[in-house]
Amino acid sequence: MITYDRLYIGGRWTEPAKKDLLEVRSPHDRSLVGLAAEATEPDVDLAVDAARKAFDEGPWPRLTPAERQDVIARFNDLYAKRTEEIADLTTAENGSARWFTGWTAAALSQQTGAFLRAAAALPWEEDLPRTDGTTGRVLVRREPVGVVAAVIPWNAPHQSALVKIVPALLAGCTVVLKASPENALVTLLLGEILTEAGVPEGVVSILPADRATSEYLISHPGIDKIAFTGSTGAGRAIAAIAGRQLKRVSLELGGKSAAIVLEDADLDAMTEGLKFLSFANNAEACVAHTRILVHRSRYDEAVAKLKDLVESLTVGDPSDPATFIGPMVRADQQERVRAYIETGIREGARLVTGGPQVPAGLEDGYYVTPTLFADVDNSMRIAQEEIFGPVLVVIPFDDDDHAVRVANDSPYGLGGGVWTADEDRALSIARRVRTGTFAVNGAPFSFDAPFGGFKSSGIGREFGTVGLTQYVEYKTIAV
């Protein structure tokens, strides 16, 4: 059993105000994974004060960009040496299948590497040419935005944390990271690596905490910017707080992404691709492709292929290498997904496979049977609302214009894709669907390219140069 009985506040392991430790239990069998300190408002005050002092008076914002990059490069090297440990602990805490947590932990070195490349190439101070005939110089500086409150969800704890901490630190900011209680252990582990890498005192704090403490953090007058990943409902509340206080804010929120399957698509490639695009991380992923739009001429064939796919997914102990889908993270999340399945049945969608029953032999955990619905109308709740679990809906369409209309008929705009043998046609559709990311035939994204959403899927972007510049303010100096 792992125990972190102190919080990481300003780079120091500090006794929390709350003496009772948080129990972190496995969603697979509810066994005790470990104990962790849980932050409350006095701990937030300490962390923000440390971050404020480190930003206003400390060395970190005043180092050269190259000096900060050296520290983050050391962090990246140290992180890479602990990926197996990190993957195991993430699986134990939140139930993500071990194949997924292993892949994610390894990929995060690439994510950080992309930020390092962006920081090395970014002109932190540059001369602009005078075009008005006057003499003198115009300097444009990129300066750190200040103290950042980074608030992250449970489904991908280190990815969500590092996609905020790394660019914020490279820009010269200080950070208070609010983690979910479900991932308290693996998130506090980051403090060990940050200290070993040489991040100065005061610069980073890590606070596992509940929603009330999170709201206290983002409302704190010492915070300059909020960076949030989570539900659209929570994002709206955070945006309202940021608006009242004129804090900078970036939001990576929910999705209900559509995969468009044209009549010339390779259905075998489509089903293999959707195995990962739709069901990775137990389908607890904002960018999951959960609306499958299929040309009417291939509809029955595609539904049969998807049925075979869904029924082939191995559900069980997430630590077993043979498992593809583990449990939902909590009992309420399990019940939420099962309730959506019951809603789909009541709405009149055709239940092709799966259902609200818990998989046999897995009653001790928070498991859901992977489920496929066909003959779905896009107005149904199961097509409009983010389920955040292993449930796919299949919707027919007649032509490209119809497919684009259905894909865009959503409050969300985070991801999506198209499957076709015609690249020009694919690009035509991709340019018309209002989403922040879009994959042609399952092509992977790049950590150098921006990631984020249209509409209710968020504000701002992450990854690469664009993600880095979410943590800077621009200053113009006329000389």
CB of 108 within 8 A of CB of 201? Answer: no
DSSP 257-271: EEEEE-TT--HHHHH
Considering the candidates 252, 284, 386, 462, report the single residue annotated as catalytic.
Answer: 252
Residue 252 is among the residues annotated as catalytic for this protein: yes
H helices present in 95-171, as ranges? 98-121, 157-171
CB 170 within 8 A of CB 72: yes
Q: Which residues share a beta bridge with 196?
A: none
Q: How far apart are the first and last CA of the chain?
A: 61
DSSP code string of 243-312: HHHT-EEEEE----EEEEE-TT--HHHHHHHHHHHHHGGGG--TT-EEEEEEEGGGHHHHHHHHHHHHHH
Residue 473: count of CB within 10 angstroms of its CB: 15
How many C-beta atoms lie closer than 10 Å to residue 431's C-beta? 9
Distance of CA 448 to the CA centre of its chain: 16
CA 206 to chain centre: 17
Instruction: Give 124's DSSP letter.
Output: S
Give, for 396, the enclosing helix (H) or strand (E): strand 391-397
Alpha carbons 252 and 256: distance in angstroms, whole number: 13
Do residues 40 and 15 lie in contact, with contact meaning Cβ atoms separated by under 8 Å? no
Contact yes or no for 358/316 (Cβ under 8 A): no
Catalytic-labelled residue, pool 38, 93, 286, 386:
286
Sheet architecture: strand order including 125-128: 125-128, 138-144, 472-478
Cα 467 from Cα 450, distance rounded (Å): 6
Residue 253 contacts residue 453 (beta carbons within 8 Å):
yes
Angle at 124 between CA 122 and CA 125, to 5 degrees: 130
Q: Is 192 a catalytic residue?
A: no
Closest CA to 228 of 76, 215, 220: 215
Catalogue the active-site residues.
252, 286
